[in-house]
Amino acid sequence: MTDRTTPATGRPHDLIGIGIGPFNLSLAALAHNLRHAPLTTAFYDQRPAFHWHPGLLIDGATLQVPFLADLVTLADPTSPWTFLNYLRARDRLYPFYFAERFHIQRAEYDAYCRWVTHQLPGLHFGHHVDAIRWDPEHALFEVDFTQLGPHGQTEAPGRAHTRHLALGVGTAPHVPAPLEPLAASDDAPVIHSGAYLDHREELLSAGHVTVIGSGQSGAEIFLDLLRARPHGREGLHWLARTPAFAPMEYSKLGLEHFTPDYTRYFHELPERTRDDLVTRQWQLHKGIDTDTIAAIHDELYRRTLHGGWPDATLTPGVAVRTAGRLADKRVELHLEHIEQGTRTRHTTDAVVLATGYRERPLDTLLGALAPHIRRDTAGRPRVDLHHRLELDPAITGNIYVQNAERHTHGVGAPDLGLAAHRSATILNHLTGTNPYPLPDRTAFTTFGLTPHPAVPPQNPRTASPRQNT
């Protein structure tokens, strides 16, 4: 194997990132700007180019975070990689100014990130990382990769060496167990929402479509299908496990759960408390934008203006028990209402699974290092406040993780608004300096109480007598 990406001096890299999604792209952008402690870096991704959820770039769909939650601004607003500088480079600052948009479209965020990847050095697309090992003799990580051709074919192996790693391998589409066989079948009309746009025309031609999932993606897909299908023949059913199609918690104080202050508070809670909190905080990150809810209701209402109701059914509080394929190739879902305890069968021509994403397991990539990773009682890797895996002292290099630490850092782990802060935290820790000074306080809310030191009881023999008044 050849070491194709070791610097010309023969020195190892200071940092190698695996995966080039928004989070590692943020890290690469902020690392590139370091002046007093420059780092040699390389970032690898098996995809041929950057694309951010291309199957969900529905026309008009917006980010659920403000444009300031770009790759770098909340850590370094003077960076050349800000969203505003992207607009300036494209001569679009004044149109954006007059548009008065605080939340930009997803397609524009995707275009912004691709603009950064086209200019930022040290990004290697078309590289599949095969294995990671620790070399104790040289105190370095060895990263074996395979360079891929434009169609995914194997072209050449390679090896790189680094002192530290940053894993940003992202998440994978989640398919509920009852629907896994159908989703895995090539001829079954069951797709994950991540591939929605690839199958949109097919879905529009289907007689009846069922959308499963109560989050933002499910709402956007339901709305897009509803708008595109004829009046009176909508043929849509929207199912969800949640007890309601609920709005996302978007109050200003509620949003403070996505601050570094809350992350620090959450990290210090007991493991069982953290696990319980994550399941109860679903409306912080799995609810629906209120504008989308309003648009769905407006569209449904508009279709009642000339009498009758649209052929569209919305049913929350429902679980899919089993699923199968009928002889006529339609899909049959066996449903159970969670509160009523009632069961029924539901037949549809196509299913869209807006069932979210799950963190990709790190064990496959870090198989050779598995014995050195410290774990919690559920077998998950422990992650410290610097977003670093807790490892045996024998491994002196650091492995940082991005969006793989919800169990230790809370609901903010996958949030774009914390990307720049997390990248800055990693770089401050890695360099042992403070190239990106971070605020001590980021929320008006005080999460938790600081216990006072115990006051020793007074000895009645020495206590001062009460003064008479």
Q: How confident is the model at residue 42, as a pLDDT?
A: 98
Q: How confident is the model at residue 10, as a pLDDT?
A: 67
Helix (H) or strand (E) holding 357: strand 357-359
List, for the chain, all residue ranges whose pLDDT scores fall below the cut of 70. 1-10, 454-469
Give the Cα separation of 200 and 370 in Å (integer).
42
* Concatenated DSSP letters of 292-322: HHHHHHHHHHHTTTTSS--SEEEE-SEEEEE
Q: How confident is the model at residue 153, as a pLDDT?
A: 87
Return the residue matching tokens 């620790």: 134
Q: Residue 334 forms beta bridges with which residues?
A: 322, 345
Structure token digits, residue 305: 């203006």
Q: How confident is the model at residue 463, as a pLDDT?
A: 44
Give the Cα separation of 52 and 164 in Å (integer).
26
Q: How confident is the model at residue 35, as a pLDDT?
A: 82
Contact 405, 444 (CB under 8 A): no
